[in-house]
Amino acid sequence: MAATQHTSVQTRVKRAAYYLLLWLIALIFFLPVLWILLSSLKSTDQMLSSVPTVFFEPTFHNIVDTLNRPEFLPALINSVILSVVSVVLAVIVSFTAAYAISRFKPKGSDFLMFLLLSMRMVPAAAVIIPLFLMFVELHWKGSYVGLTLFYTMYSIPFSLWILKGFLDGVSQRFDETALICGANYLQIMFGIILPQVRPALIAAFIFNVIFVWNEFLVNYIVGGSSTQNVPGLLATGMYSGGSVDWTFMAATTSLYMMPVIVMIFFFQKYLLVGMTFGTVRGEV
């Protein structure tokens, strides 16, 4: 009896130590985010004081200022339009492609899947000059169409991988049952199979939205003033009067992070699906 009590105390202490360590690591990673969030609520003087101010009177002055800037709202709208439209397109294309590959297994589809994913391994900086020249020739420079298509293309491989993995796990008996009932392939795909892979669709959507939401390089180089997103605005609007406008930077960043953080909070269970390429299945 005494021995078991002793063990349980020891286990509890051990566990507490683990948790403490984990919390510490998490806090270290969270610190920059916290710094940005707090800074957005500080005055310029408080923010720039050499001894960091821990206790201060929060002010929404910076946030209101940022929201009142004429270029902020259009940039935010651009961010929303570009990320949502391109990722929705990408998910639709990926779902139909993944269905075809999973069910009909056309020759060479394995190689195709590999090829598509390897595209994601090319650093954007390596393709930015050819992309720029191509977009100029196509008159896509600075257009929504050009940027949306680029982001769609960039979001497809990852979505395809997640969805293919998930669709392989959906029994073909679903398709066959529906076929027997007289459904056509469009009805089967969107009416029967799509509800089965909803977690994968959400995972593909979230992961790619996060990517497009924070994309800077392509937007900056091949986009134009009318298609500028918030990261682009941050880069160009940070300097005022020969120095960095720290309050603007902090406030814009805080505002910009919020929608994604809220989205992740509500859909966090789907992130695992995405991170494992759909290999962890089950009821999500």
- The SS3 call for residue 187 is helix
* Separation CA 192–CA 278 (nearest Å): 19
Cα→Cα distances 211→44, 127, 134, Å: 31, 17, 23
Min dist CB 198 to another protein, Å, is 9
> By C-beta, is 177 or 279 nearer to another protein?
177
Distance from C-alpha of 98 to C-alpha of 2, rounded to nearest angstrom? 59
Nearer to another protein among residue 190 and residue 211 (C-beta): 190
Given the complex with another protein, which of 144 and 174 has the nearer CB atom? 174
Supply 76's token pair.
């935010």
Quick one: 110 or 176, whose CB is closer to another protein? 176
Query: What span, in angstroms and rounded, lies between the C-alpha atoms of 158 and 73?
Result: 30
Q: Measured from the CB atom, is 153 or 192 closer to another protein?
A: 192
In the complex, least distance from residue 176 CB atom to another protein, rounded to whole angstroms: 6
Q: Smallest gap, in angstroms, from Cβ of residue 177 to another protein?
A: 4
Minimum CB separation from another protein for residue 145, in Å? 35
- Beta-carbon count within 10 A of 210 CB: 17
Burial-class residue 284 by CB neighbours within 10 Å (0-12, 13-18, 19+): middle
Residue labelled with tokens 């105390």: 9
Dist CA 233 CA 249 (whole Å): 10
- Report how far residue 171's alpha carbon sits from residue 197's, in angstroms, rounded to the nearest whole number: 12
Based on CB atoms, which residue is closest to another protein, 199 or 274?
A: 199
Task: Report in angstroms how near the CB of residue 188 gets to another protein at its nearest.
Answer: 11
CB of 195 vs another protein, minimal distance in Å: 5
Q: Which is nearer to another protein, 242 or 282 (CB)?
A: 282
What is the binding site for another protein (CB under 8 A)?
A: 171, 173-174, 176-177, 179-184, 192, 195-196
Shortest distance, position 170 Cβ to another protein, whole Å: 10
The b-or-e profile of 159-196 (16+ CB within 10 A means b, else e) is: bbbbbbbbbeebeeeebeebeeeeeeeeebbeebbeee
Whole-angstrom distance, CA of residue 112 vs CA of residue 155: 16
Q: What are the beta bridge partners of residue 244?
A: 239
